[in-house]
Structure 1
Amino acid sequence: MKLLFAPWGNPTGWRELFYEFEGEKVKSSTSLRILQETIEPDKTIIVGLDTLAEEGSNYKEVKESAEKKIKEYVSKFGLKNYDILIAPGIGAFPSGIFHGDALDYYYNIIAKVSLNLLEYSDNTLDIHLDLTHGINYQTILTYRAIKEVLELFSIFKEIKFKAYNADPSLPVATDKLFMNIIEGTQSAPKPFDRRIGQRRTIEPIDLNPEERRKLFEKDLMCIREIRTSEILAFIGALYNGLPLALFRFYPDVNNLKEIISKTIEVYENHMDVWYKEKLNVRRNVKITEDFKVYVFAYLIATLLEASHLISCQKKEVTLPEIEKLKSSLFKFDERFKVRIEDDIHVLRKNLKNKDINKWQIYNEILEASLGEPDKRNFLAHSGFERNIVEIKKDEEELFLRYNEDKIETIADYCQSGLK
């Protein structure tokens, strides 16, 4: 699947000129035209700002106004097969004034691009990003958001990435611009490594005490239904290469999806929109880093399910299931793969002639003394710490699980290294 993303500022003043790329020349007011013809993407996604809006009595109408303007120019420029994402912007313009936090744009793009990419089941994603028409903070935040999302997707899929920008030029200095590839890479896998802070995906900017109470106790109640420690343990299990913990702490995907959709809904409902000489939009809340953590937890869980590796939380896991995870998932980091492989080999060797017809602590089976779990051993041996892993054998099949009395300690160990 080949996708072309492009952040757009205001296309009103874009002058028609010649764009050249890979031996082709096209006359157009946008670089997207020649990229569509040369790259031939399956879909083009234009990322527009709500600051393009000229009217609206509520935020839904503001977004519709901005999207309508982009559609007018897309049609005028002769572009095809496209989708439009509208994200929140800030600034003062002839048609309107928009107050808020610039990072709201970044967090919106993180969520919307993630959900967009999850729609494609292809094992290879070929992602192209045209930065020619982005403005100010929009360009760098779009690049940053897409790159971070692709780093996680690269754990599960082959990801190719190219970024483009036309020659810099003053409006009347030339009638021809060359398109430049400013980055062309195979996206490198990188596990997500952030922590949840205050368990708040939204923070107030200008709310009275009653509005604040309603925001946290009612509007975002869905966040309270998920245990923060287990979400972070799940994220940390991938980050630290802990296969059994990935099964044990696999989250409720529907709850995570609800947090994402509810956060966007609540965010958009806390805006004041009015018209006084021009359109005014004031955002009374801002999106926080915690929102990004929930989005990435949802991404990991959904991609694990789509890869037919884990689809629900499991406390009791067979050794072949762990071996499959080692081969299919942890191949993204050779260090994890080799370590898990070695720990499985030792486990099989130690238990080869043991009669284990009921659940027993690993150290009990080895007739070793029981002690308190050791964090260093836990991390050094893929989570198979001998004082907290329980094992049984059923028809020669080995089953593993964690001692639930120690599950809070295990969750804490899994979070090691998260920032």
Structure 2
Amino acid sequence: MNLIYQIGRFELNAFKPINFQIENQIFSQSLSSLALKEYFTKKGLESKVVLIYPVSLLFNKRVAENSPTLPQSFKEKVLTIITQPDERTAFFSDPYPYFKLHPHSKLADSFTVIHSIGEYEGIKFQVTFEELVFEIFLDIVERYLNEPFKTLYLDISSGLNIYVSALIEAGRLFITFYKLQNFLPEKEPLRVILYFSDPIIQSQLDKTFELHIHYELEVKTFFSWPQLPDQINPENSYPEFIKTLAEEDRKTKKYLTELLAPILTNGYIFFSALKNNTPLVFYTFPYHQEEEVISAIKKLIVFLKNRLLKNFQKTPGLKMDAYRKVFLMLSLYLGIIKALKIYEIFPKSEVSLSELNSKFRDSQNTFFKHFGLISHRAYFAQELENNFYKKEINEKFTEKFKLLKEFISGENQDKDIKDRNFIAHCGFERNCVEVRKENQEIWLRYINDPEKLKKIQVILIKN
């Protein structure tokens, strides 16, 4: 499916049909988004149009009084909002019933209302650019999770420059959000397309205006965690960060801690395990199910929309940069989970060296390559050779699990797991890795000791 976004219009000639040309075909519509939808429909492709209405759009007395095509009932409703304080208060509390009467709302598949910047008809509107971006981003993500689409079209030909800029940035944030959760190759990856029409001159509306629909929005993503932990705690590594999100509100802090702390903490542990080249961790500690992370994203969207949209005249001033990091962290964790599932990497009581070789060492199939961690494979192979394939070590392995250090001559008797050794040797720290051998197959696991397992998590959080 194609999803098409366009900034809503409310001008004197906004409701008059215009001839738009797409690939030598003419479509007569009042909006370019509707023309694009008609073009796709003609090709047998499903598409939906979503209009974005800045809340100040209706504060235009000149249009309400002079438009020759607006329904009289809608004109009266708009003038009432502008001139009557009580009606205006109701409008700012919930503008959706009012915008539902907008003629274009009946033609589009859906619409959303966002805050505005500036002063119109004597009314001041307050919102930051970052909040505008995030309001649009939330709407796109919510629609994608409820009804996935393959191509997102963003109309950038409106004269409302600040909102077009916010739309582009929201599209850029969304494609980043999408790419972080889809590291493995896809047959048809989601695309974000910027499209626009030739300049529409109000005195020349009888002309034909070409729509340009082939400008793809490209972004580069990097395997990097947006917010480092602020506490070394496997239960909650983000108490201060979540406190920042909650802005000192105890009830909000409690809700966000319950919603986000376990997922963000575990997400960072798995990110760190991948970054630090310690695959045995993936077979030891459970990770969240995709549905759990998606559910958290949906709940966060509802939470943020409730906070942002309490008053459409001004926003509460949320820390949007911090929330942006949350969405990207959740997305990156989701991407790691998806890749682990596709590679059939799950927690188990033991894992064979054959499996580790196949999924991490094999040059064609290595799990690492999808995350741009090309050098990990060779370093991991070296650690496998040094710890498990050397003859003087390998021939000592027994059928019973024993700590790796018991098979290595001259190994000291220190029982503590050393942070540096754990990281330096791909997680094969000799005080926590157990080994056994059966029919020439070597099996590995971390020792089943709660304190040592917690120590491994702590090391990963610190690194």
Relative to the length of structure 1, the TM-score reads 0.70
What does 1:4-403 align with in structure 2 at a 5 Å threshold?
4-10=3-9, 14=14, 16-39=17-40, 41-44=45-48, 46=50, 48-49=52-53, 51=55, 57=90, 61-63=94-96, 65-66=98-99, 68=100, 72-76=103-107, 82=109, 84=111, 86-94=113-121, 97-118=124-145, 125-133=150-158, 135-136=161-162, 137-158=165-186, 159-167=189-197, 169=199, 171-172=201-202, 174=204, 175-181=207-213, 183-184=215-216, 190-195=222-227, 198-200=241-243, 202=245, 204=247, 212-216=249-253, 218-223=254-259, 225-226=261-262, 229-238=265-274, 242-246=278-282, 248=285, 250-251=287-288, 256=293, 259-270=296-307, 281-303=313-335, 308-309=341-342, 314=347, 316=349, 318-319=351-352, 322=356, 326=360, 327=365, 329-332=367-370, 333=372, 335=374, 338-339=377-378, 342=381, 346=385, 349-350=389-390, 353-367=395-409, 369=411, 373=418, 375=420, 378=423, 383-387=426-430, 390-393=433-436, 395=438, 396=441, 398-401=443-446, 403=452
Matched to 1:411, the amino acid is L
* Unaligned runs of at least 5 residues, structure 2: 59-80, 82-87, 229-239
CA distance 1:249–1:33, shift in 2 (3 Å):
same
CA distance 1:176–1:309, shift in 2 (3 Å):
same
Q: Which residue of the partner structure matches residue 459 of structure 2?
A: 410
Local SS of the residue matching 1:410: helix
Q: Is the Cα–Cα contact under 8 Å of residues 57 and 273 in structure 1 kept in the other structure?
A: no
Q: Which residue of the partner structure matches residue 417 of structure 1?
A: none
Superposition deviation, residue 335 in structure 1: 0.7
* CA distance in 2: counterparts of 1:398 and 1:384, whole angstroms: 15
Local SS of the residue matching 1:132: coil
* CA distance in 2: counterparts of 1:105 and 1:359, whole angstroms: 58
CA distance 1:285–1:17, shift in 2 (3 Å):
same
Q: Is the Cα–Cα contact under 8 Å of residues 315 and 401 in structure 1 kept in the other structure?
A: no
Q: Is the Cα–Cα contact under 8 Å of residues 363 and 387 in structure 1 kept in the other structure?
A: yes
Matched to 1:369, the amino acid is E
Tell me the percent identity: 13
Deviation per CA, 1:348-377, whole angstroms, max 9, x where unpaired? Answer: 634754525455444544446367646597
RMSD across aligned positions (CA): 4.5
Matched to 1:33, the amino acid is L
Local SS of the residue matching 2:313: strand
* CA distance in 1: counterparts of 2:273 and 2:49, whole angstroms: 33
* CA distance in 2: counterparts of 1:224 and 1:33, whole angstroms: 39
Superposition deviation, residue 73 in structure 1: 1.0
Instruction: Name which one, 1 or 2, has greater alpha-carbon Rg.
Output: 2
* CA distance in 1: counterparts of 2:97 and 2:276, whole angstroms: 44
* CA distance in 1: counterparts of 2:310 and 2:356, whole angstroms: 53
Local SS of the residue matching 2:128: coil
Q: Which has the higher strand share?
A: 1
Q: Count how many residue pairs are aligned between Structure 1 and Structure 2.
A: 391
Superposition deviation, residue 103 in structure 1: 2.0
Relative to the length of structure 2, the TM-score reads 0.65
CA distance 1:187–1:213, shift in 2 (3 Å):
closer
Local SS of the residue matching 2:411: coil
* Unaligned runs of at least 5 residues, structure 1: 275-279, 415-419
Superposition deviation, residue 129 in structure 1: 3.7
Superposition deviation, residue 412 in structure 1: 3.0
